[in-house]
Amino acid sequence: MDTTYWGRNFGVMLFKDSITKENLLKYYVKTETNALYKQGIGELQSRGFLVKAIACDGRKGLLASFGTIPIQMCQFHQAAIIRRYLTKNPKLPASIELMEVVNLMKQTDKESFEGALSEWHGKWLPFLNERTVNEETGKSFYTHKKLRSAYRSLKTNLRWLFTWYDHMELGIPNTTNAIDGHFANLKTKLRNHNGLSIRRKKKFIDGFLKA
């Protein structure tokens, strides 16, 4: 499940079956909320669908919102979060090495990734703990805040990054790329129809997602 936008106040939240590739449910939204994702899963269950697992992005609070249903955080979204903290071309050796660990995520198993992340943390812990003193106030702060935030994001989300590995029998995708590719195709098609009113745009999207 994922959401895409056209402008600030018009988006589509889509729930897709990763097995049959069928689009099961969509909502037109102004804002993406955890409550609406929960509503969507509840609606599918009320229709008789058995939700074996969920793949989604890492919105704050979302990953822990579905009780006993296994949740896979999209590894692509996690990597994007780290790139926002470190940039695509980090300069610090510690940041470069952390990006190398992140790049392992999509091609390795849970234990190997956890081991690589732990080894990185042990090597760079003194660097992470470096502090800078504000000469005017005398107060200190962590020198490498963004690097610390990047590591904390990985550490916090680690329990959801390899759900596919913990439940191999379910065939859970490790990303939401099936939906992302669908959205990209939809946006390409809509660009050929610039100037459509919201009503006509919805009609086009209805037909595209149904197809």
Digit-coded pLDDT (tens) for 83-130: 999 999 999 999 999 999 999 999 999 999 999 999 999 999 999 999
170 lies in some domain: no
12 with 81, same domain: the answer is no
179 lies in some domain: yes
Q: Please report the pLDDT score of residue 195 as a whole number.
A: 79
Place of tokens 């600030």: 8
165 lies in some domain: no
In the chain, the percentage of residues whose pLDDT exceeds 70 is 100
- H or E element: which one contains 131? strand 131-133
Q: Which of 55, 40, 10 is nearest to 179 (CA)?
A: 55
Q: Please report the pLDDT score of residue 192 as a whole number.
A: 80
3-state SS, residue 108: coil
What is the total count of domains within the chain? 2
Place of tokens 């990047």: 150
Cα–Cα distance for residue pair 189/204, rounded to 1 Å: 9
- Distances in Å between the Cα of 29 and the Cα atoms of 2, 52, 156, 210 are 12, 25, 28, 18
Q: Please report the pLDDT score of residue 211 as a whole number.
A: 64
Q: Please report the pLDDT score of residue 197 as a whole number.
A: 86
Q: Please report the pLDDT score of residue 7 as a whole number.
A: 84
12-51 residue pLDDT tens: 999 999 999 999 999 999 999 999 999 999 999 999 999 9
Q: Is the pLDDT of residue 194 over 80?
A: no
- Give residue 22's domain range: 1-74+175-211
133 with 146, same domain: the answer is yes
51 with 96, same domain: the answer is no
pTM over 0.95: no
